Amino acid sequence: MEREWRNRPAGLRTHILICLATALIAILAVEITHLHVFDGQEIAIDPIRLIEATTAGVAFLAAGLIFFSKGEVQGLTTGAGMWLAGAIGLAVGLGFWQIAILGTVLALIVLGLLQLVQVVPKDKQ
């Protein structure tokens, strides 16, 4: 929401899609182990692979948003927000609702409240 309020790239829809995609990946990973094809076989999932894949995939998208313009690096907060959306999606998909809610609340605090105390250079005022 913070990205939308500030009219920045990769706003609410992008973050929601990343979160939804990673939640679906996590749910699919868990559900695949319950397929009848694997009846009688011991199946183990490796959640670290999910985390690594999400990190790599979202990092690729986020890196495309970070650029250098007029002597400044731009897009870092958006990229970090996308990465966090992926982590929240994994938490939801794996059933860790409390962690997902805590991550969301902390993100809103960081993005909202810290914006109030951010120092703005004099040439930007």
Q: Is the pLDDT of residue 105 over 80?
A: yes
Distance in angstroms (rounded) separating the CA atoms of residues 95 and 62: 25
Please tell me the predicted confidence (pLDDT) of residue 117. 67
Q: Are 55 and 34 in contact (CB under 8 A)?
A: no
pLDDT tens string 24-68:
888 887 787 777 777 777 777 777 887 888 888 888 887 777 766
Say if CB 74 and CB 8 are below 8 A apart.
Answer: no
The answer to pTM > 0.75 is no
Mean pLDDT of the chain: 76
pLDDT tier for residue 8 given thresholds of 50, 70 and 90: low
Q: What percent of the chain has pLDDT over 90?
A: 7
